[in-house]
Amino acid sequence: MIYRIAELADWTAAQQTGFFASADLKTEGFIHASELYQVLGTANRYYAGRQDIVLLELDEAELWVAAVPVQREYAAEHDDYFPHILAPIPLAAVVRALPFALAEEGGHALPPELDELA
């Protein structure tokens, strides 16, 4: 599985069109995603304090079946590889959309459904 932190507006639009896409696909040519161990760092770095987001759990095998390429690219500033999705994501590849609330201390915490996987 790979994960995408999604704005509610983009997730709502996906449910109407059948495909998830975000502004980064148009501006950068890919949709940013994360491995599970990268989710909290990404959330706290780029979505600090935001409550209008959900966490999409994506089945990479379903992306492959739908001919949606995924490339892992190195980000030097984070010294890690991140998955980049190179086309709109069909809803069939979204396993679940999980609420992504803020923890008491203000940062994000993984949804309880993912705690056992982390």
Domain ranges, residue 68: 2-105
What is the total count of domains within the chain?
1
Asked if residue 10 belongs to a domain, the reply is yes
pTM for the full predicted model:
0.92
Between 108 and 16, whose confidence is greater? 16
Which pLDDT value is given to residue 5?
Answer: 96
pLDDT tens digit sequence for 39-85: 999 999 999 888 899 999 999 999 999 999 999 999 999 999 999 99
Asked if residue 115 belongs to a domain, the reply is no
Which pLDDT value is given to residue 118?
Answer: 59
CATH number at residue 81: 3.20.170.20
What's the 3-state SS for the chain?
Answer: CEEEEEEHHHHHHHHHHCEECCHHHHHHCCEECECHHHHHHHHHHHCCCCCCEEEEEECHHHHHHCCCCEEEEEECCCCEEEEEECCCEEHHHEEEEEECCECCCCCECCCHHHHCCC
Asked if residue 112 belongs to a domain, the reply is no
